[in-house]
Amino acid sequence: MEASTYNQVDSWNEVILIYRSALKEVNTKLEILNDEFQHVHRYNPIEHIKSRIKTSESIVKKLKKKGYESTIENMVDHVDDIAGIRIICSFTSDIYQIAEMLANQNDIKILSVKDYIKNPKPSGYKSYHMIVTVPIFLSNKVVDCKVEIQIRTVAMDFWASLEHKIHYKFEGNAPEHIQEELVECANMVSNLDAKMLSLNEEIQSLSAAEKEL
């Protein structure tokens, strides 16, 4: 290998190290917040957390789609979801609580928010997206690293998982009747989430009333 190629490999490895560290940082914050919520309210808003680093193939594909050359600089500047965390909750109310708790962290900077719950995509997709940066403290510098955070209910995640499979199966051109059924399922998911939230609020209200007796 030429020297420049070695430098490129070293840079790539360092970048991935930083993104992996950012995932650890956000994961730790979420675990602490969840533990605190359990301690104060006797309730865990987070069902589970998934995290991943985007593959090099996916990064290159996204850069090409945006019209950029496949360089590390472009990757860092123009691909916001290289490090991704998905937070799965029981209820829609949990989503906004978690988003607020993250926003209140002093070292987290929010770059953008997309609320696909209040404004679903035409396909029926619902989720709450945040692009944030977290500081990563290395031995000789501090790097602000971008992380995409998706927050959704269990039902939303189930729907999104199926939609993702269909998208890749048909390369984004699913038959019209399947697209229509997906939208119908998304509406059913929304109704289910609303009913579950209402039921949970009623249970909590009854529990609070019993304590006052």
What percent of the chain clears pLDDT 90, i.e. is strictly above it?
73
Question: Strand ranges (DSSP E) for 22-173?
Answer: 46-53, 83-89, 109-115, 128-137, 142-153
Rounded Cα–Cα distance for residues 213 and 207 (Å): 10
Q: Yes or no: say if 99 and 29 are a contact pair by the CB < 8 Å rule.
A: no
Percent of all residues in the chain with a pLDDT value above 70, rounded to a whole number: 94
**Tokens read off for 157:** 């995640």
pLDDT of residue 3: 47
| Cα 122 to Cα 125, 180, 195, distances in angstroms | 7, 10, 23
So what's the pLDDT on residue 102?
95
- Does the annotation count 148 as an active-site position? yes
Q: Is the pLDDT of residue 9 over 60?
A: no
pLDDT at 24 over 50: yes
What three-state secondary structure class fits 45? coil
Q: Give the strand order in the sheet containing 109-115.
A: 46-53, 83-89, 142-153, 128-137, 109-115
Q: Has residue 207 got a pLDDT over 80?
A: no
Query: Among 25, 47, 148, 212, which one carries the catalytic annotation?
Result: 148
| 3-class secondary structure per residue, 176-189 | HHHHHHHHHHHHHH
pTM for the complete prediction? 0.90
> Domain 3-155 is classified in which CATH homologous superfamily?
Beta Polymerase, domain 2 (3.30.460.10)
